[in-house]
Structure formats: C-alpha cells, structure tokens
Amino acid sequence: MKTPKWFLKHNLLSLVLCLFSAFYFVGTKLVFNLRKKHEYVSKRPVICFGNILSGGVGKTPIVRQVAKFFDSPVVMRGYKKTKATSDIGDEAKMLSNDGIQVHVGNRKNNLILLNKQKSKSPIIMDDGFQNSSIKKDISVLVFDEDIGFGNGFLLPAGPLREPRSAIERADAVIVIKRKNIAHGFSLPTNIPIFNAYNKEICPYGEETDVIAFAGIGYPEKFFKNIPSHIIEKISFPDHYQYTDVDIKALFEKAQQKNAKLLTTEKDWVRLPDWAKKEIRFSALQTDIENVFYDWLKGKVNDIVSKKS
C-alpha cells in the first residue's frame, strides 16, 4: 500500500485512528513479552539494524555497507517474494546482487543454521528490532532526518511501530542526514549517534528529461534527490509488483514525452528481465562516518571474546 498522507502530518483521520493505536500498542506489547520467554541466543554475534517506523527510512543500504565491512551473512524475512526477485524479495535481491550471503525466511531457523558454521564473524539482521524471540548482541536504529518520527503517532494513526521511548533499547542510532530536519525530531543523548549520508548515482545527466517512478515507502525522498530533469513523477505502493500492463504504459508515456524512464534499485529488481534492459535505476550510495565502524568493531570484538 502507499504510505498514508497522515503518516507525516496530523489531520482529523490520524486523530480518530489514535483509538486503534492504543489497541495496536497493547497487542504488540503482549506478543513482544510472550516471544521473549523463548528467546534464542546465538553463539555468533548478532547485529540488528532496525527502525521504529514502518519502513522507508533507508535501512537496507546501511545493512549492505556493514555486511560488506565484516563479510557477514544477512538474515531477513524476505518481503514480497516473486519470480522477478528470485523468490527472495526485493531488498534481499539487492543485497544478493552485491555478492552478500543472504538468508530469507524464518530468521530464528536461519540463525540456528549459521551457528553450525565454523565462522565467528557477526551475523547481520535486517529488521527485527521488535522481534524479541532472538537476542540481539547489538541493536542499531536507523532514522531519516527528513522523516523523523513522522506525525509521532503509533500505527495506524502514524508510522511508529513503537513509542519513541523504545529507542532506549538500542545500543546506537544512525541518522541519515538531510538538508531539512523533520519538526520535533530529537534523539536521546545517552546513546551513541552516528551520521550517514546518501547520494543518488544517476545514470543520466542534469539535462536529460526523465519520468521517475517508484514503489517505495516514501517516494518523494527519491524524486527530490535525482539530479536529472524530472518531467513527471509516478508513485506506486511500497513493494509494488509491476505488471506487463504497468510497464507498457510507462514505456508509452516515455515515448510520447521523449523521456527516459528512471526508477530506484529496489524497484528495478522487481521488474521482469525484458524491462530491465530498457529501464535504468539510480543507485543509492550510503556512506556512514568512519567512527561508527570503529565503535562497532570494538563492540563486536568484546562480544566475540565473551562468547569464546
């Protein structure tokens, strides 16, 4: 589904939905506490990169950088598995295309399998901050400065999976820096906060007319950072599964306007092979400040020593 407009700003509907947010909070709290009773403890360090918002903050590119740094496997749920994504999901396909070992499905079962290997390298968990059935040795939350906490309400009245106080469970926070900072976005000062920077590596120059389309959590983030000349923006629901009809309509529109089609890498991996040959994507380059890697490596070394 498309990200509801009220997720970023208060309106009458978001206020009405606050009643359902109360039920959501109680339900998720009960599930969290029940799962905690059967917590799995990994022999290898588990580093979880999560968020307290319902997607769209740019977490997976950070997972990719850290997995490469440690040469680590990644466990993830693998959302929206289709033939176009080799039945592993778009985010998993992106990581796999970069040569990263990705295990999708039941994260607990995959951790058990990975613990049978001789390797002592850390295991990266993409998402799962709310999954209490697995003990995380290090938890890192990711925020986008431009989105912040959205409207500040819990699902379904807002984008928050948990109250802001949940940040206190994390060992560190990574903030993707932006020119604009969302109203009311402030973080606790008692945990380490590190900065990351995104850059779109666009295959077209600034003078090229492009029709940009995206099926991600917050497509406007993509649109406003493309250096090319966008003549039309087309938004689809998050993790949208493109049909041949959709793609042919995009090609017709591009031909009529003498423009190039441009999308995100996450969308591109969901396209059928015949469309990938004609449609290009803007690669998202994420750079995390070096002090974060120093901090993380120190934490991992301490955990490996304790587990040995």
DSSP run (H or E) holding 134? none
131 and 158 housed in the same domain? yes
Phi, psi of 251 (to 5 degrees): -65, -40
* CATH number of the domain where residue 110 is located: 3.40.50
Which pLDDT does position 225 carry in this prediction? Answer: 87
- Same domain for 184 and 244? no
Kindly list the strands in the beta sheet with 172-176, ordered across the sheet, starting from the edge strand earlier in the chain: 102-104, 74-76, 123-126, 46-50, 138-144, 172-176, 193-201, 280-288, 260-264, 209-214, 229-235
- Tell me, what's the pLDDT at 18? 94
Q: What band does 235 get if pLDDT is binned at 50, 70 and 90?
A: very high
28 and 82 part of one domain: yes
Q: What is the share, in percent, of the chain residues with pLDDT greater than 70?
A: 96
User: Looking at the structure, do residues 78 and 130 belong to the same domain, yes or no?
Assistant: yes
pLDDT of residue 23: 95
Q: What is the pLDDT of residue 3?
A: 85
- Quick: pLDDT tens for 194-222: 999 999 899 998 889 999 999 998 898 89
Same domain, 168 and 236: no
Same domain, 157 and 204: no
CA distance 190 to 231: 45
Domains of the chain: total: 2
6-15, 58-67, 135-144, 186-195: least confidently modelled range: 6-15
* Per-residue CA distances from 196 to 48, 52, 64, 125, 145 (Å): 17, 18, 13, 19, 10
pLDDT value for 80:
57
Domain enclosing residue 238, as ranges: 200-286
pLDDT grade, residue 46 (50/70/90)?
A: very high
Confidence at 28, pLDDT banded by 50, 70, 90: very high
Looking at the structure, tell me whether residues 132 and 143 fall in a common domain: yes
221 and 194 in one domain?
no
Q: What would the mean pLDDT of 80-94 be, rounded to a whole number?
A: 68
What does the pLDDT look like over 67-83, one tens digit per residue?
999 999 999 987 655 55
Nearest Cα to Cα of residue 267 among 252, 247, 297? 247
Q: Is the domain of 69 the same as that of 216?
A: no
| pLDDT number for residue 183 | 86
| CB distance 144 to 174 below 8 Å | no
Same domain, 215 and 95: no
| Residues 23 and 73 placed together within one structural domain of the fold | yes
Task: Answer yes or no: is pLDDT of 34 > 80.
Answer: yes
Q: Please compute the mean of the pLDDT values over residues 141-163 and round it to a whole number.
A: 95
Contacts of 139 (CB under 8 A, 6+ apart): 47, 48, 50, 129, 169, 170, 171, 172
Same domain, 143 and 192: yes
